Amino acid sequence: MDNCIFCKLVTNDIPSLRVYEDDDTISFLELNPSAPGHAMVILKKHGYSIFEYTQEDLGKLMASVSHVSKKIETALHTDSLTIGINHHEETGVPHLHVHIIPRWNNDNGSALQSIVKNPPKESREAIADKIKAA
């Protein structure tokens, strides 16, 4: 895609600090990191959301996420990692990407569940039924 900053990164039209690359994916350090070693992993093939990729594509993406996560844990001696995808996010880069954020005890971070505070107004059972029926 012509306007996509990540696609320009894939073609080396803009620089990045790559930490891993294979035939299908690239991992590079986040420009505005939340923690030292905050990296992103993308598929070289452009797509906005998980719905635009095949299961095979997503499998390759997650294999690279696993590989890079191990490298980050080893290199930076992390206590844990937070791994996340902002799916259909209106802000940010319109190219599916996975964040790998290194974590250390007492880093003032929190669990992924702390990002959104919107308690359900329906029972969990009702919500499960809606999802199953969709």
pLDDT at residue 39 tops 70:
yes
Sketch out the chain's domains with CATH numbers: 5-133 (3.30.428.10)
**Residue whose C-alpha is closest to residue 24's, from 70, 62, 57, 54:** 57
CB 61 within 8 A of CB 53: yes
Cβ within 8 Å of residue 78, ≥6 positions away? 37, 72, 102, 103, 104
pTM for the full predicted model: 0.91
Quick: pLDDT tens for 69-86: 999 999 999 999 999 998
Give the tens place of pLDDT for each residue, 76-125.
999 999 999 988 877 888 999 999 999 999 999 888 888 888 889 999 99
User: Do residues 39 and 28 lie in contact, with contact meaning Cβ atoms separated by under 8 Å?
Assistant: yes
Active site residue 46: no
Candidates 38, 95, 97, 99; catalytic one: 97
